[in-house]
């Protein structure tokens, strides 16, 4: 007769509990590690995205300030009387900053009686309610305005040295807080205006100031592009490599987690491409390394790839290598003209030509778009928000050249720049 042996439950329960506890512990530890790496990757990506957005906002704000100052300086340098400068400041501030009222007062006589010299948004009678200013310790201070409408937002004194010259007052119908960028533009406009009021000859030197701003802008573009490429981009690539290495080592991850991490990797790759795009367009390295013609060819290649335009470059004559400053200015002029083609022209074909002959070079950008009616003065386009053309005009002035704009509704547009070679190209010694 056989016999059977049985293991008491009292002995098997502790073993089973220990096995389940060990399995639970290892699963819990694996879950914590996955959660840690997932949170780390999320935090790093969010950090770099936030940092990139902050840098882009700073760059865009700088671009808007530069466009405004260029347009203002361009109008000021064409003015023959200080009153024309005041009118230019009033028009540009009201349109650029969306201000309902802009008033400029000049102080006359020993007592500093205010005199309205330019205004927008108020009638003469309404402007008198704002005409309550006084001089205190070398500065113009607005007195209380109880019944004026719109709401007085800011009054900026116009001061040359320690001597008050007048007041720039701005207001809106609805109360709102002016941003730091808007306050900076108001202060810059007040400085320009004070210079013109102090000595009409002084504002003729603003072109040199704009030149320095342009140089500073290009240096800032180069710095940001280099930092995006050498720091931000490399950090994103390192994060992507860590993620891919983690996925290769952890093949036992649940399918849902693996798919999530792979999608996260694809998002990081897209961010890397965006950073490369911004870095190249802020300051293309090909411009510094190979010169203007290869940089323009690269720019047209981008136009063909991104927008499907039939774009080509034509070169005639004996090409010359421009000085670095001249190359940057010509490249930005062509770049802005091509941007206008994309934004406004509705064109299917664009042609960039560089013709070298005699003592000058002719650069033209021609499209087959819808065209428009050209005003008598190119500077008048700035009042319609065409600040890019004002920047082009100022860069042409820096090259000692001339800018021509040809267009008719339905017949396309041609931007032509005549640049003297003397002073803008390398001369063999």
Let me know how many helices (H) and strands (E) the chain has, helices first: 11, 11
User: Whole domain around residue 227: which residue ranges?
Assistant: 37-58+204-283
Tokens of residue 292, six digits: 């203007």
Q: What is the pLDDT of residue 94?
A: 83
Q: How many domains does the chain have?
A: 3
339 assigned to some structural domain: yes
- Rounded to an integer, the average pLDDT of 376-400 is 73
Q: What is the pLDDT of residues 142-152, one digit of tens each?
A: 443 334 455 66
Q: What is the pLDDT of residues 99-119, one digit of tens each?
A: 888 888 887 765 667 778 888
| pLDDT of 203 over the 60 cut | no
More confident residue, 377 or 212: 212
Q: Give the Cβ contact number of residue 204 at 10 Å.
A: 14
| Mean pLDDT, the chain, whole residue set | 78
Tokens of residue 166, six digits: 């007048």
| pLDDT of 330 over the 60 cut | yes
370 assigned to some structural domain: yes
Q: What is the pLDDT of residue 173?
A: 76
CB burial class (10 A; 0-12, 13-18, 19+) of residue 144? exposed
| pLDDT of 135 over the 50 cut | no
Three-state SS at 382: helix
Q: What is the pLDDT of residues 25-52, one digit of tens each?
A: 778 877 887 777 777 777 777 787 787 7
Q: What is the pLDDT of residue 378?
A: 63
82 contact partners, CB below 8 Å, separation of at least 6: 196, 197, 200
30 assigned to some structural domain: no
| pLDDT of 345 over the 50 cut | yes
Check whether residue 351 and residue 302 sit in a common domain.
yes
| pLDDT of 230 over the 80 cut | yes
pTM: 0.53
In Å, what is the CA distance from 177 to each residue of 99, 102, 336, 359, 409?
12, 16, 32, 53, 41
Check whether residue 231 and residue 290 sit in a common domain.
no
CA distance 186 to 181: 9
For the chain, what percent of residues have pLDDT higher than 90? 15
Q: What is the pLDDT of residues 389-423, one digit of tens each?
A: 778 888 888 888 988 989 989 889 999 999 999 88
Strand (E) or helix (H) holding 154 = strand 151-160
Tell me, what CATH number does 310's domain have?
3.30.565.10
Check whether residue 337 and residue 400 sit in a common domain.
yes
More confident residue, 177 or 190: 190
Check whether residue 296 and residue 426 sit in a common domain.
yes
């Amino acid at each position: 007769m056989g016999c059977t042996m049985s293991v008491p439950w009292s002995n098997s329960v502790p073993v089973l509990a220990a096995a389940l506890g060990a399995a639970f512990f290892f699963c819990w530890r694996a879950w914590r590690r996955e959660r840690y790496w997932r949170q780390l990757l999320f935090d790093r990506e969010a950090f770099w995205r936030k940092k990139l957005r902050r840098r882009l906002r700073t760059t865009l704000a700088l671009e808007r300030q530069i466009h405004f100052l260029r347009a203002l300086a361009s109008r000021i340098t064409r003015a023959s009387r200080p009153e024309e400068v005041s009118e230019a400041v009033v028009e540009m501030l009201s349109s650029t900053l969306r201000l309902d009222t802009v008033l400029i007062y000049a102080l006359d006589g020993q007592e500093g009686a205010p005199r309205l010299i330019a205004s927008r948004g108020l009638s003469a009678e309404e402007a008198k309610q704002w005409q309550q200013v006084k001089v205190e310790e070398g500065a113009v201070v607005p007195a209380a305005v109880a019944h004026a409408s719109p709401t007085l937002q800011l009054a900026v004194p116009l001061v040359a040295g320690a001597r008050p010259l007048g007041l720039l007052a701005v207001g809106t119908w609805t109360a709102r807080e002016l941003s730091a960028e808007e306050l900076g533009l108001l202060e810059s406009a007040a400085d320009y205006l004070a210079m013109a009021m102090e000595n009409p000859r002084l504002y003729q030197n603003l072109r040199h100031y704009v030149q320095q701003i342009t140089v500073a802008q290009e240096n800032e573009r180069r710095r940001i592009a280099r930092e995006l490429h050498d720091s931000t981009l490399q950090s994103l690539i390192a994060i992507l490599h860590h993620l891919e290495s983690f996925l290769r080592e952890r093949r036992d991850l649940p399918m849902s987690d693996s798919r999530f991490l792979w999608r996260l990797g694809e998002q990081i790759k897209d961010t890397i491409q965006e950073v490369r795009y911004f870095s190249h367009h802020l300051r293309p390295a090909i411009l510094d390394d190979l010169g203007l013609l290869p940089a323009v060819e690269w720019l047209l290649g981008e136009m063909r790839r991104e927008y499907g335009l039939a774009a080509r470059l034509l070169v005639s004559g004996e090409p010359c290598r421009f000085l670095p400053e001249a190359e940057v200015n010509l490249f930005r002029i062509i770049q802005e003209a091509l941007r206008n083609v994309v934004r406004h022209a509705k064109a299917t074909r664009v042609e960039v030509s560089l013709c070298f002959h005699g003592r000058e070079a002719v650069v033209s950008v021609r499209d087959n778009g819808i065209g428009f009616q050209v005003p008598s003065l190119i500077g008048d386009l700035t009042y319609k928000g065409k600040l890019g053309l004002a920047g082009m005009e100022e860069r042409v002035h820096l090259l000692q050249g001339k800018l021509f704009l040809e267009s008719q509704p339905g017949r396309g547009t041609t931007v032509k720049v005549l640049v003297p070679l003397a002073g803008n190209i390398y001369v063999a010694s």
